[in-house]
Structure 1
Amino acid sequence: MSEHDPRRALPAAHRLLEHPAIAALRTRHGAAAVRAAVRATLEEQRARLARTDTRAPSLEALCEAVRRRLAQRDATGLRRALNATGVLLHTGLGRAVLAPEARARLDEVARGACVLEISRETGERGVREHEVARALCALTGAEAASCVNNGAAACLLMLAALCAGREVVVARGQLVEIGGSFRIPEILAQSGARLREVGATNRVRPDDYARAIGPETAAILHVHTSNYRVVGFHEAVPPAALARLAHEHGLLLLQDLGSGNLVDLSAFGLPEEPLVGASLRAGADVVVFSGDKLLGGPQAGLICGRREPVARMRRHPLFRALRPDKLQLAALEATLAIHEAGRARERIPVFRQLASPLETLRERGASLCEAVGEAAGEAGFALAVCPSEASAGSGALPAVPIPSIALTVAPARPTARIEALARSLRLGSPPVFTRRQAGRLWCDLRTVAPEEDTELVAALRAAFAATANASGAEVCAGGYTGGCHDEPTD
């Protein structure tokens, strides 16, 4: 390194650590985190100066770079957010919002020791999912029930425990890929079972299944195509007919229902989604489904069915590896108790969102528009309250639009950038996630709880201010001055 190399001007790490601005950061972030940020910042600057002909930054600029690095680290990880995307069960945003009762049970159980896997009567070791199993049987009519830590785990366990080393017959149109590259053929391979696919992508008949059954067949697997829908020239075999065929040949009928519904959705004006109890009554031997979708609970893989196959699943070595923890069980017990009490529509957030009248959403949109209109105008944006289409998400109710209302934000002058506004909202506290469509930013109010409106107003005002400051834009005389426009027609 020559004596004129700009890297020589960079301070040593210990000198930067002694700067008062860095010392103040240690109180908030801890000494180890600050040391790591200082070293990473200096290393980044050395690399930059080695490939560019520029001067080394000042000590103050380095301190600011360290502060930004630590702030960026704090912006990652789990934290509460506002979901204004219009996707009710958004996988990236945690899927189902828990009911107040489930949140209270989480707090109670996390506060100290809890009765997880021990009998209060005898003091001996017990079954951790006993109460969940009891409630599931009561709600679905199953002979036996259990749970693991997610829906994919339940499917893997079912196939490994009941079908390993043998063939499983599946319709070609049901060999789906769900989010995160979860593919039915790959899960079958991991379970030790062998796939025997039948039919065409769009049509499968009873004879297709019957011809595939042989001495190596263990089960017929019926997969609910929860994240897409086939329309047009299409034919499928109802689960009840599959159950009769399977049982005639001494086979099991296994069902992966995906979202696993316990509530009749016709009350919300929505198409029918398979009910767990109906699947069992139709003859399914085991049904698996998720806990954090239309059930409205925490992440979990729920298992319902006949006593003998469920017992085999519980005895399999994977069962312990996939078991849920105390917090999942606490929230799940509370959620199932709400279903048992017949109060899901009024207490579980996803059903409250589905039930919210359009007129109520429109009134909320008008109030929000009035509250942030001036800030929007100063930043160069125009607001409107307009019809929107929400969706269930997470594979539930595919291709079914849910009428909604959104507050939309559009640029009113060239310097107003929708991308910058969306980013500012995501980086705020709490983060707000929206969607961009037709050149506008949409805050869909069906997925924002009424009690979150105050926070949404504050977040929008802060984002408008930050965007205006970043662009350096000024409101021209006679230009847009805020307020709401009529509903757009595009």
Structure 2
Amino acid sequence: MNMQQRPPAVDKALAWPGMQTLIASHGRALVLDSLRAALELWRSGEISDQPTLVATVQQRIERTLAPSMRPVLNLTGTVLHTNLGRAPLPPEALAAMTAVAAGASNLEYDLASGQRGDRDAHVEDWICRLTGAEAATVVNNNAAAVLLVLNALASRREVVVSRGELIEIGGSFRLPDIMARAGCKLREVGTTNRTHARDYAEAVTARTALLLKAHTSNYQVQGFTTSLDEAQLAGIARAQGVPLVVDLGSGSLIDMQALGLPAEPVVGRILAQGVDVVTFSGDKLLGGPQAGIIAGRAELISKIRNSPLKRALRCDKLTLAALEAVLRLYADPDTLVQRVPTLRLLTREPAAIRQTAEALLPSLRGWAGAGFEADVCDVYSQIGSGSLPLETLPSAALRLSSISSNKRTRSRELRELAERLRQLPTPVIGRIADDSLLLDCRCVEDPEPLRQQWEAGA
């Protein structure tokens, strides 16, 4: 290695004006770490001058400081996409989170009495008002809600469940596993496709703690089937002297059919059928932050709230602030759909979605390049997150297809194009299907930021 190729000493490089500027902005420790890594590139011959070294150090610092979690544009066609954060929050929820995030708040402080308060108080009254429940509590997600309810009400005792409802949802969440972790014993009744009233009644013994019904939100059993609804199960539970718990999964506070959407169990109606406790998610059809909501009889909710496990699963102040803000929006049914983004996206008219796609088509063609054909096509969106898995919503998508005649080449080019979309300043997430890359525009209410990205990179 000649003298020109030899890297500078660390101390000497740190004294360069460019390095001093970086130190002033980011601190010596971070610059030093990045410099040492960049000097290895100099030793390997990839860098050979001062300006390039400074620029490399700056780039490494920027990559290190770049946030890992970033906003993306959801063009997958799945509105409540678990991997993309599920429900988008309304401005009211964002404002509520910001208001309590910067400093102290009355999270567990009763301003009226000056004594310690209960963090559930910020949302409990609204949950009860909107569902008809006597009491409610909240934890960090619905899986936690099920775990807490089972542990608080059925530890070391039996829980009766239909075999057709032993669900598994995303992330390998299996109901039998949750029951085991909760310290209770599973008592299966019926068969996969048929469970009768006598199956439940005959399974109840002195060791039975409760009956559990799990809403099969991510699949359906069709054909030769029998199952009991909540009212029938509630009657059996009362006759046997045990509570009935229903895990609704997605959960909805309103009649989705009134919005032209597929039917989904309404929490208030389920409780009105005699169910003692329901659990459901906050970040699915409700349109709020990630949370597990538990509502029902006051006596049972008190036991659940007083469980030692509750503290480990409780929500923080940001979640509670956002959830309260979203629940307040439900007080005005006339403006609800427009103010809750999830409901607004789910109810968008196909014609409006197609108009968005057509407005974006010219800029997409320019960005994709001559190797691809682009048009607008009819597609079907999904609600997502296990909500109504067999139901779809008419939508429109931008469709990109490779002009190559070779199938393997087309497949490779589509994957590379999807990667290019993910590398945009605001990454765009679509889906590959039917030898095309589809960009469903249901969740694109304002096409301008996307159009600007494509035109800047064309």
TM-score, normalising length: structure 2: 0.90
Q: Residue in 2 aligned with 1:410?
A: 401
The aligned counterpart of 2:47 is 58
Tell me if structure 1 keeps the 8 A contact 2:195–2:227: yes
The equivalent position to 1:178 in structure 2, one of 155, 169, 190, is 169
- Which deviates more from structure 2 when the two are superposed, residues 248-257 or residues 234-243? 234-243
- Residue 442 of structure 1 and its aligned partner are, at CA, apart by 1.5
Matching of residue 424 in structure 1 with residue 413 in structure 2: no
Partner of residue 228 from structure 1, selected from 211, 215, 219: 219
Per-residue deviation, 1:17:
5.3
1:353 aligns with 2:345: yes
Whole-angstrom distance in 2 between the partners of 1:288 and 1:250: 21
State the shift of 1:177 in Å: 1.6
Per-residue deviation at 1:232?
A: 2.3
**Aligned-partner Cα distance in 2 for 1:212–1:121:** 49
User: Given that residues 372 and 401 in structure 2 are in contact (C-alpha distance below 8 angstroms), is that contact kept between their aligned partners in structure 1?
Assistant: yes
What is aligned with 1:218? Answer: 209
Deviations 1:148-177 (A, max 9, x none): 121111111101110001011111221212
Aligned length: 447
1:440 is matched with: 436
Correspondence for 1:307 among 298, 303, 314: 298
CA contact (8 A) 2:366 2:455 kept: no
Contact 2:38 2:53 in 1 (8 A): yes
- Residue 399 of structure 1: SS of its match in structure 2? strand
Change (3 A) 1:89 1:58: same
Please name the residue that 1:52 is paired with.
none
Q: Per the alignment, do residues 30 and 447 of structure 1 end up closer, same or farther by CA in structure 2, a change over 3 Å counting?
A: farther
**Could you tell me which of 265, 285, 289 is aligned with 2:280?**
289
Tell me the CA shift for residue 35 of structure 1: 3.3
Aligned residue for 1:33?
30
What is the CA distance between 1:461 and its match in structure 2? 3.4
Equivalent residue, structure 1, for 2:373: 382
> Aligned partners of 1:279, 1:136: CA distance in 2, in Å?
14
2-structure distance, mates of 1:23, 1:231: 69
Q: Could you say which residue in structure 2 is the equivalent of 1:392? A: 383
Q: Is the 8 A contact 2:253 2:268 kept in 1?
A: yes
Identity %: 45
Structure 1 92/66 Cα, relative in aligned 2: closer, same or farther at 3 Å? farther
Does the alignment pair 1:82 with 2:82? Answer: no
Superposed CA offset, 1:51-105 (max 9, x none)? xxxx643346776765555454455522222111111111111110011211121
| Residue from 109, 134, 137 that aligns with 2:125 | 134
The question of whether the paired residues in 1 share the 8 Å contact of 2:366 and 2:454 is answered with no
The answer as to whether partners of 2:159 and 2:184 remain within 8 angstroms in 1 is yes
- Structure-to-structure mapping, 1:184-263, within 5 angstroms: 184-263=175-254
* C-alpha distance in 1 between matches for 2:324 and 2:210: 31
Q: Give 1:14 shift.
A: 5.3
Alignment partners' CA distance in 2, 1:374 and 1:204: 58
> Which 5+ residue runs of structure 2 have no aligned equivalent?
none
Q: Distance in 2 between matches of 1:213 and 1:11?
A: 79
Q: What is residue 152 of structure 2 aligned with on the other side? A: 161
Instruction: Indicate the SS of the match to 1:304.
Output: strand
Q: SS where residue 123 of structure 2 aligns?
A: helix
Tell me, yes or no, if the aligned pair for 1:106 and 1:331 is still in contact at 8 Å: yes
Change (3 A) 1:219 1:386: same
CA apart distance, 1:353: 0.8
Deviation at 1:259, TM superposition (A): 0.7
Give the 5 Å matches for 1:44-123: 56-59=45-48, 69-74=60-65, 77-123=68-114
Q: What is the TM-score of this pair, normalised by structure 1?
A: 0.84
Secondary structure of the residue aligned to 1:447 is coil
Q: 1:201 to 1:71 in 2, by over 3 A?
A: farther
Question: Cα RMSD (Å) of the superposition?
Answer: 2.6
Unpaired runs of at least 5, structure 1: 50-54, 466-490
Letter matched to residue 29 of structure 2: A
